[in-house]
Amino acid sequence: MPLDSIRKLPGAGSFKANLEDYEVTRALFSWEAILSELQGLPDGAGLNIAHEAVDRHAAGARAQHLALRWLGKDGKVRDLSYADMSHGSARFANVLRSLGVTRGDRVFALMGRIPELYFAALGTLKNVSVFCPLFSQFGPEPVFQRLSRGDAKLIVTTSALYEKKVSALRERLPMLQYVLLADATEDVSADVLSLPKMMAAAGDHFVIPPTSPEDMALLHFTSGTTGMPKGAVHVHQAVLTHYATGKHVLDLHPEDVFWCTADPGWVTGTSYGIFAPLLHGVTNLVDEADFDAERWYSVLQDQKVTVWYTAPTAIRRLMRIPGEPRTRYDLSALRLIHSVGEPLNPEAVVWGNKALGLPIHDNWWQTETGGIMIANYAAMDIRPGSMGKPLPGIEAAIVTRAEGGIQVITEPGVEGELALKTGWPSMFRAYLHDEARYAKCFVDGWYLSGDLAKRDADGYFWFVGRADDIIKTSGHMVGPFEVESALMEHPVVAEAGVIGKPDPLIGELVKAFVVIKAGHEANDELRLELTGFARKRLGPAVAPKEIAFIDSLPKTRSGKIMRRLLKARELGLPEGDLSTLEKE
Ligand code: ATP
Ligand code: MG
């Protein structure tokens, strides 16, 4: 199947998308207009994410609408209306207030995807404190690093996680005053307290104090794909991006059932796993369990998910399973699939079309951008392999760093660094405790993303690679994604990670690490076949010169291939920060 063909979303037209015509929406777009679709705090007291996400619905017609359906690991289901979410988060805010936790204080969460996490997130924002979510699977050292770098004042966690990961760190964390245990019925000590007990004693009404759009709201650590995770600071004004992208990219409509599979420990899991769906008053599905193909298909079917937001790593895992799921599951409610986090191989878009009956819409953003910046829109043609076009209101460009500044490349098809015109609402306001690094990201009014990309003549953006991952071989610049995607087209290949390996003759040689699908044998014959296959697609200069078979690729917990680790291991170099490495 040709991968460069353009395919339109089946059914587009029968369902009226929020963004029907990209150019028209872009021309008419303004952030002021987006702000006017929100409510603002009563009496002009400012802009607060939690007010817009829950309180305004709880005070209106959607009070009893299902806000959050929680699916427990063990089959339990908990349904929470907008009124329930408003009350639960108010109780949490009152708990914080009673402990003297106040504006700007850092409230960390270390727990699985349980309802308390969502009350904690929204309650923290109501209190104008700063919410800092951590992956529950982090080990003690990564937890320590983040708590200490983030100046944690309070942490909400569970008894087991506290015992395993936090209690031994207390001495080294003098700032940390309180621990709230989400599952303890009784207090453990004067500062290790039962959250249920405190929540029960707290009032379910909380008046949000005045909140400036520039008040700090969230602290998110980056994925650590390229090095030590950075703490990106976001403010309440980010709500404008959460809302605008929920409208134009996720295309949320009032009766939608939305499922974002990302954990709130990663920015996608808060911007889209909490805020965007609630801002639109839709039903947000939360599954406590981790990835399992059969479970996921059942969730999509049984919960009648209409809009699904997931990641390439999950899609590649689903692609490994033979057969077409739509013949086994009723996926007819599903109308839109989105993906973020890594480049989405064109093969995956094509697979979605065939196996799920829908193409997969790739979009691009970073922890630093706070929300989706470049996307494929529901009613717009998809070019498989492309990240799509900038969000209305966002100016993106391909630039080169030049002497004393940057130069914007206007010619299509030229590779350069992906940059965004500064000033969008969810732009990160700092790298915590690292002003110099923050300042380095900005040149001439542009934010430089550190990703390389190109733009075609029609304005679609194409990901080339992270600047750190680019391979320089025989005078060519090769993006690993291009090579990985070509290998992925081979029916036996499940996944591939590609690096540059220093070579005295050609600078770097392209080396591929390949995971093959179950039931196939990794041998020299296959290696030769894959080499030939890649050469045909990429030409000899770009095709891998070395191919190694590997059982699994090292990935971050958010599912990104850690090429720096493949490289370090290949070269016998130090492995660097491994705090976000998924268990291998
Ligand atoms: P660190 O900055 O700590 O190395 P990270 O960059 O992986 O980690 P995130 O902010 O979670 O941390 O990820 C953003 C990055 O993920 C982007 O800069 C880009 O490299 C990659 N990415 C996200 N979405 C896409 C996409 N649709 N296509 C290609 N790359 C993507
Ligand atoms: Mg990054």
pTM, to two decimals: 0.93
Question: Could you identify the atom of ligand 1 that is nearest to the CA of residue 468?
Answer: 4
* pLDDT in the model for residue 2: 37
| Model pLDDT for residues 441-488, shown as the tens digit of each residue | 999 999 999 999 999 999 999 999 999 899 998 888 888 999 999 999
Counting Cβ atoms within 10 Å, is residue 505 exposed (0-12), middle (13-18) or buried (19+)? exposed
Question: Could you identify the atom of ligand 1 that is nearest to the CA of residue 367?
Answer: 10
Which ligand is closest in space to the CA of residue 453? Answer: 1
Fold that domain 22-455 belongs to in CATH? Rossmann fold (3.40.50)
Q: At which residue do the structure tokens 């086994």 appear?
A: 328
Name the residue type at position 6.
I
| Model pLDDT for residues 404-444, shown as the tens digit of each residue | 899 999 999 999 999 999 999 999 999 999 999 999 999 99
pLDDT-based confidence at 9, cuts 50/70/90?
very low
Answer yes or no: is the C-beta of 264 below 6 A from any ligand 1 atom: no
Asked whether residue 343 carries a pLDDT value surpassing 60, the answer given is yes
Q: Domain 470-571, CATH 3.30.300.30 — does that match?
A: yes
Distance 91 CA to ligand 1 centre (A): 35
Q: At which residue do the structure tokens 């291009």 appear?
A: 482
Answer yes or no: is the C-beta of 112 below 6 A from any ligand 1 atom: no
CA contacts within 13 A on the Cβ side of 389: 21
Query: Could you give the angle at the alpha carbon of 380 between the alpha carbons of 379 and 381, nearest 5°?
Result: 125
Count of residues making up the chain: 584
Are 312 and 342 in contact, with CB atoms under 8 Å apart? yes
Q: What one-character-per-residue DSSP string does 318-383 give?
A: HHTS-S-HHHHS--TT--EEEE-SS---HHHHHHIIIIISS-EEEEE--GGG-S--EE--TTS-B-
Answer yes or no: is the C-beta of 223 below 6 A from any ligand 1 atom: yes
Residues whose CB is less than 8 angstroms from the CB of residue 397 and which lie 6 or more positions away in sequence, other chains included: 408, 409, 418, 419, 420, 421, 446, 455
Task: Tell me which residue has its CA closest to atom 13 in ligand 1.
Answer: 366
* pLDDT in the model for residue 232: 98
Name the residue type at position 335.
R
pLDDT-based confidence at 14, cuts 50/70/90?
low
Q: What is the DSSP letter of 163?
A: I
Q: Is 190 left (phi over 0), alpha (psi -120 to 50) or beta?
A: alpha
Answer yes or no: is the C-beta of 463 below 6 A from any ligand 1 atom: yes
Question: Could you identify the atom of ligand 1 that is nearest to the CA of residue 463?
Answer: 29
Query: d(Cα 67, Cα 262) in Å, to the nearest integer?
Result: 18
Which ligand is closest in space to the CA of residue 229? Answer: 1
Answer yes or no: is the C-beta of 480 below 6 A from any ligand 1 atom: no
| Model pLDDT for residues 27-64, shown as the tens digit of each residue | 999 999 999 999 999 999 999 999 999 999 999 999 99
Task: Tell me which residue has its CA closest to atom 14 in ligand 1.
Answer: 366
Name the residue type at position 451.
D
Task: Tell me which residue has its CA closest to atom 5 in ligand 1.
Answer: 223
Helices (H), 31-81: 31-37, 49-50, 56-58
Question: Could you identify the atom of ligand 1 that is nearest to the CA of residue 556?
Answer: 7
Of 111, 122, 113, which is closest to residue 184 (Cα–Cα)?
Answer: 111
Answer yes or no: is the C-beta of 557 below 6 A from any ligand 1 atom: no
pLDDT-based confidence at 15, cuts 50/70/90?
low
Name the residue type at position 384.
P
Chain centroid to Cα 107, Å, comes to 21
* pLDDT in the model for residue 584: 66
Distance 480 CA to ligand 2 centre (A): 16
Q: What is the arithmetic mean of pLDDT over 193-213?
A: 98
CA contacts within 13 A on the Cβ side of 356: 29
Answer yes or no: is the C-beta of 562 below 6 A from any ligand 1 atom: no
* pLDDT in the model for residue 558: 84
- Grouping H, G, I as helix, E, B as strand and the rest as coil, residue 579 is coil
Query: d(Cα 31, Cα 67) in Å, to the nearest integer?
Result: 26
Which ligand is closest in space to the CA of residue 226? Answer: 1
Asked whether residue 349 carries a pLDDT value surpassing 80, the answer given is yes
Q: What is the arithmetic mean of pLDDT over 105-109?
A: 98
Distance 365 CA to ligand 1 centre (A): 7
Answer yes or no: is the C-beta of 371 below 6 A from any ligand 1 atom: no
Sorted by where each begins, the domain ranges of the chain are 22-455, 470-571
Domains 22-455 and 470-571 share a fold: no
Q: What is the arithmetic mean of pLDDT over 193-212?
A: 98
